[in-house]
Amino acid sequence: MVKIDKKVWQQAHITTGEKPLVLSELTDDCVVLFFYPRANTPGCTKESIAFGEHLEAFKAAGCAVFGVSADSLKKQQNFKAKYDMPFDLVADVEEQLCQAFDVIKEKNMYGKKFMGIVRSTFVLNQQGEVLAEWRKVKVPGHVEEVLQTVTNL
């Protein structure tokens, strides 16, 4: 089983919440981290709204949910407020979580190459072990698939 770096697991990450996120201090059975390229873009918005719509089911399964992007805290706060998201977003501006989960890849848009976040989702247990992962996620039906996986744990 893959385990994330202990330093990243125990480090405080800036969120839209009142206090930083320290993954090792969560008391939930598991945590879903979904990485998205950029706040307020169509796919990222649809995915975030879907996680929000299913949040109570994730909570019932003992699972916390957090969205992660490299956007600034201000952009994350605006994104959360605009869509009334019921979970916190992580502003990973230094890309520490992104690097730990290896979600930054070369992308190509209109012939221009750049480095960016590839939409990915991970389910972790309390020890920081990756129980399930999805990379190069397509938004339709994804949240329901993650919820089904979490429910079956």
Active-site annotation holds for 63: no
Tens of pLDDT along 59-118? 999 999 999 999 999 999 999 999 999 999 999 999 999 999 999 887 777 888 867 899
**Catalytic member of 30, 44, 63, 98:** 44
Domain ranges of the chain: 6-12+27-151
Contacts of residue 5, defined as CB under 8 A and 6 or more positions apart, other chains included, come to 100
The answer to whether the beta carbons of residues 153 and 30 sit under 8 Å apart is yes
Residue 109 half-sphere exposure, CB side, CA atoms within 13 Å?
7
Which two structure tokens, joined as six digits, stand for 24?
Answer: 């090792």
2 or 82, higher pLDDT: 82
- pLDDT category at 1 given cuts 50, 70, 90 is low
What angle, rounded to 10 degrees, do the helices at 42-53 and 142-151 form? 40
Name the CATH superfamily housing domain 6-12+27-151: Glutaredoxin (3.40.30.10)
The pTM assigned to this predicted structure is 0.93
Helix boundaries (H) for the chain: 6-10, 42-53, 55-60, 73-82, 96-100, 142-151
